[in-house]
A and B are shown apart, each in its own frame.
Chain A
Amino acid sequence: MSLLALGGGGGGTEDGSSSDTEPDALIDFTTMLMERKHECTGGWFSCGSKLQSQAHEDHGYYLGQYVLGVLDFSSQYGIDYSISYTASNVIGRPAKFPAYGDYPETFTMRTYGDWWQQAPSATQEIQAQNLPALPTHDFIVVYFEKFVVPTEVAIFETFNPGGVVRIWAYSITKRWSCLWEATGSDLNHVPRDSRRFAPPLRKTNIITKTLRIEFNHSRLNYYTEIDAIMLCGRTVPMRCMHQLLSPAGKRLANTREESGNGPISCKLRTLKFQPSCQGNDAVKLHEFINNDLSKFLMDSRVESEQQKNNSTTRICLTDLPCEILLKILSYLDLKSLFRMGQVSRLFYDISTQPLLYCDLSLKAYWQLADSELLCTLARRATMLRKLDLSWCGGFGEISPTEFKKFLTQRGDNLTHLRLNSCKFLNATCIETVGIVCDNLIELSLRNCTTNPPLLNFSCLANLKNLERLDLFQTAFESELLLSMLESNRKLKHLNLAFCGVSVNMDNVATHLGTYNTQLVSLDMWKAHFLSARGLQSLSRCQQLEELDLGWCMREATLGDSLYQLLYNCPKLKKLFLSAMRGITERDLMHIATLGKNLEQLDLMGILNITHERVYDILVHCSKLKLLDLCFCDNFMDSDFDLIADWSRLFNVDIKNSRIYNSS
């Protein structure tokens, strides 16, 4: 049923903000209906499998439908095999709406607010100028049963609403279209109550049954939770669908796409123009400047002088020296850079300078990125150092072959590589990374869960300089990880959240304590088989500033392993101990006395915590900014008032389960 089953072809590129009428608008429903009436007498058997009246099938009808399945999501709070707080909870009817609260039957993402950006493990965006004003932190891609022309998308938020920033739809012409985008004011003053969020969509004629919802968590006080998503629209009669999906229909749709005016497609066409010399770009530019530039400027100036009015000097943009023009162009986002390249020959030469492509990120253009674009960029990016292809190629737009070719050509000097949620990756792609990119300092492969795991055997054994390895929500073979830990002694940041049941964390912890003592941040969220022994091994990583052990040890007794850890790692700034029920009162006292540098502390679900211990921690941990005490069921009602007072007194953001009063 999914769109991925429909065969190849087509797929031009377009930016989401182009005109209102899409190629699908070519399909004139009225004409079709007329044809239909004249032609067939057979009635409704030819209308597909549904026994509906002919009138319905001819005109299409309005319907609202809930999510049938989830294709992809960037993060979730729960682990896959569980039913709590996972992405699959968004399927079907709302379970809790209109109730408001923190319910495990909803879809919850891993982060909220800006806390993760303030943590020691935070990263910088590559080519940050590409990002929109409200960047996307998380996304989910869902599909529905029936194709419709969308009229409404309703998102049922049951906890901390206000995270949705963009709604995209995937049309049957294989293009993504942005149906709605938030402005700053949309995210202000969202009342803390459950809501059926249905923002006004752009008028469109596309036909879709796949949506992508994007979230930004910056203004959220706590986790946002989604109970259901509804897609409302007008169905398309089966005959129209067949026509659209037939080769003739596709060709019709595609010709419109080829004449699209998007800057990337324009760029693709103009690239047929190439200066003939084969030498490197710097020489080309040099020659142009020496030989042709002055003439070119004079030629253009003759005409512009006639057009100029009242300016006292003649200087214009093209008079600036090339290094300054290069500097200006270096601030442009990638789309504007391509546009600039079409303005004139001079700007084409400057905009294709390799220096402008040292840091390259297509993440913000995930809906446009395809093999052709990679090919074009490969020509320019001869000095590539940092590459981010996260979220790209989700629906087959990028072929593994093209990616491997790109990497082989340009990847040998890469220091940072981010391939989060890249659905086009296969085992040979990862092997290529391992072989070509041996200078990597940072490798991020979040959300690459395939079966069998992508990361297997010794495909990444060649990497020896890693300082950051991010395998959040990615399956990997234990043996590979252990050998990588042994080879990468300089490792500082490691993210193994959601790595699954096949990884024994005690072994990992022992390895870390032996080989990776420079470790600064470690994320083991929902890891399995971590015991007091493993925790004790971690205390040998004395540079630790961030440790996330959420849902790790569950009921297991800690002995004095937590004490050892706190004693040996005084630099700890962020410590997440969510749902570690083995934590005793003594442990809490240790946290207070030894956690001098703690800024973020998560004690969610710790059962025997009392308000005295909370006070202790607040008094002693003077740098504390965040304290999560949700589901600490030991608290009495009266305690909450005290805690609210302390929150103000010590200036600490305290999360607790009494959500009905605003804090």
Chain B
Amino acid sequence: MSHQPEVLEMRTSDGVLFNVSLKLAQQMGLTHNWLQTEHGELRSSDDDDANIMPLDRVSSEIFKLVLSWCHAIQGIQRSADEKTRLQQDRDVFDNIIRESNASDATIFELIMAADYLNIEGLLEAGTQHVADVINSCDSVEAIRARFNIMCDSEMDN
């Protein structure tokens, strides 16, 4: 007899608690594991703490952005065509980036969070976004400047 809550409690690395609807949480591959193992049995004790899913590698700031992406994706009509779906993921991602005025660092953290939480659509969107930025750079110097990458002395002939 398993008790499936409608809301999943998740706690980020900085201790902030989030109540995430189950439907939305299921977009995250990481929760499947958690729900299967941790919530398979009714907890005998009323230890609420054990029912909270820890997200040790995601900060609250980033998690908020992840949630808004998941929420937006939930709200739109999902196309049957894979290519259109990918475009939808990208569009939502671009919107969020723009609205929150996200810096490069935030985008990278978002990508890593998507990887950790196992949200494929978000990971694709984020990595493609960075790829587009690289594609738009006209030269090696432009890439280095854009991402603040140090030049190895051996690379210059």
Which residue in A303, A304, A311, A332 is a CB contact (below 8 Å) of B135? A332
Instruction: Give A294 Cβ to nearest chain B Cβ, in Å.
Output: 15
- In the complex, A459 has a CB within 8 A of chain B: no
Give the residues in chain A near B111, CB-CB below 8 Å: 320, 324
Query: Which residues of chain B are near A317, meaning CB under 8 Å?
Result: 104, 108, 130, 147-149
Cβ contacts A to B, 17 pairs, < 8 Å: A261-B139, A266-B140, A273-B155, A299-B150, A304-B150, A314-B105, A315-B109, A316-B104, A316-B105, A316-B147, A324-B112, A324-B123, A332-B131, A332-B135, A339-B143, A344-B149, A348-B155
- Report whether B150 and A344 are in contact in the complex, using a CB–CB cutoff of 8 Å: yes
Of B128, B151, B157, the contact of A344 (CB 8 Å cutoff): B151
Quote the shortest CB–CB distance from B85 to chain A (angstroms): 16
A327 to B151: give the CA distance in the assembly, Å: 22
Collect the chain A residues with CB atoms within 8 Å of residue B131's CB. 328-329, 331-332
Given contacts A272-B157, A307-B148, A342-B155, contact A324 B143 (CB under 8 A): no
B147 touches A311 (CB 8 A): no
Would you call A340 an interface residue if the criterion is a C-beta within 8 Å of the partner chain's C-beta atoms?
yes
- Grouping DSSP codes into helix (H, G, I), strand (E, B) and loop, the A interface class, with mixed when no group exceeds half, is helix
| Contact residues, B121-157 vs A (CB, 8 A) | 123, 127-128, 130-132, 134-135, 137, 139-140, 143-144, 147-152, 154-155, 157
A274 to B: closest C-beta gap in Å: 10
Indicate with 1 or 0, residue by residue over A525-559, a CB within 8 angstroms of chain B CB atoms.
Answer: 00000000000000000000000000000000000
A332/B155 contact (C-beta < 8 A), A318-B149, A344-B150 known:
no
A502 lies within 8 A of chain B by Cβ:
no
Query: Is there an interface contact between A273 and B154, defined as CB atoms closer than 8 Å?
Result: yes
Who on chain B is nearest to A345 by CB?
A: B152
Asked if A315 contacts B105 (CB within 8 A), the reply is yes
A84-113 interface bits toward B, Cβ cutoff 8 Å, 1 = contact, 0 = none: 000000000000000000000000000000
A255-272 interface code vs B (CB 8 A; 1 in, 0 out):
000000101001001101
A456–B104 CA distance with the chains assembled, in angstroms: 57
Decide yes or no whether B103 CB sits under 8 A from chain A: yes
Chain A nearest CB from B133 CB (Å) reads 10
**Cβ < 8 Å to B, chain A residues 265-294:** 266, 269-270, 272-273
Q: Chain B residues in contact with chain A, CB under 8 A?
A: 103-106, 108-109, 111-112, 115, 123, 127-128, 130-132, 134-135, 137, 139-140, 143-144, 147-152, 154-155, 157
Q: A657 an interface residue at 8 Å Cβ cutoff?
A: no
Considering the complex, give the chain A residue whose CB is closest to the CB of B156: A270
Interface contact B112-A343, CB-CB below 8 Å = no
User: In the bound complex, what is the Cα–Cα distance between A314 and B109 (angstroms)?
Assistant: 10
Interface residues of A in 31-45 (CB under 8 A from B): none
1/0 per residue, CB under 8 A from B, across A317-358: the answer is 111110010011101110010011011110110000000000
Q: Which of A263, A314, A327 has the most CB of B within 10 A?
A: A327
Residue A2 CB within 8 A of the other chain: no
> Nearest CB to that of B108 among chain A residues?
A315
Q: Judge whether B108 and A321 touch: CB under 8 Å.
A: no
Enumerate chain B residues within 8 angstroms of A308, measured Cβ to Cβ: 148
Q: Is there a chain B Cβ closer than 8 Å to A243's Cβ?
A: no
Q: Classify the secondary structure of B's interface with A.
A: helix
Instruction: Check if A340 sits within 8 Å of B108, measured CB to CB.
Output: no
Rounded to whole angstroms, the CA-CA distance of A81 and B68 in the bound complex is 64
- Taken together as a complex, chains A and B put the C-alpha atoms of A336 and B130 apart, in Å, by 12
Taking CB atoms, residues of chain A closer than 8 Å to B155 are 270, 273, 342-345, 348
Q: List 4 other contacts, CB 8 Å, given A272-B157, A316-B149, A344-B152.
A: A307-B148, A320-B111, A332-B135, A345-B154
Alpha-carbon distance A93/B117, docked complex (angstroms): 66
- State which of B103, B128, B137, B148 has its C-beta within 8 Å of the C-beta of A331: B128
Distance between Cα atoms of A336 and B146 in the complex (Å)? 14
Contacts of A347 in B (CB 8 A): 149
Q: Contact: B143 with A343, CB < 8 Å?
A: yes
Contacts of A312 in B (CB 8 A): 105
B-facing residues in A221-249 (Cβ within 8 Å): none
Let me know if B130 and A321 touch, CB within 8 A: no
Q: State whether B143 touches A273 (Cβ < 8 A).
A: no
Residues in B whose Cβ lies below 8 Å from that of A304? 148, 150
The yes or no answer to A313 lying at the interface (CB within 8 A) is: yes
Which of A269, A321, A343 is close to B144, meaning CB atoms less than 8 Å apart? A343
Give every chain A residue within 8 A of B132 (Cβ-Cβ). Answer: 331
Contact B134 A332 (CB under 8 A): yes
In angstroms, Cα B128 to Cα A272, docked, is 31
The answer to whether the Cβ of A300 comes within 8 Å of any Cβ in the partner chain is yes
Q: How far is the CA of A339 from the CA of B157 in the complex (A)?
A: 15
Most buried by A among B104, B105, B115, B128: B105
Distance of A156 Cα from B107 Cα, bound (Å) = 50
Q: A269-B157, A314-B105, A320-B112 are in contact. Are A343 and B139 (CB under 8 A)?
A: no
Question: Whole-angstrom distance between the alpha carbons of A321 and B130 in the complex?
Answer: 14
Assuming the contacts A316-B108, A317-B108, A324-B127, asked whether A311 and B115 have C-beta atoms less than 8 A apart, the reply is no
* CB-defined contacts of B112 to chain A, threshold 8 Å: 320-321, 324
Minimum distance in angstroms from A406 CB to a CB of chain B: 26
B105 touches A311 (CB 8 A): yes
Nearest chain-A residue to B59 (Cβ)? A313
What 7 pairs across the A-B complex have the smallest Cβ distances?
A: A331-B131, A300-B150, A317-B147, A345-B152, A313-B105, A342-B140, A328-B127
Find out whether the CB atom of B127 lies under 8 angstroms from the CB atom of A331. Answer: yes
CA A331 to CA B130, docked complex, whole Å:
9
A273 to B115: give the CA distance in the assembly, Å.
Answer: 33
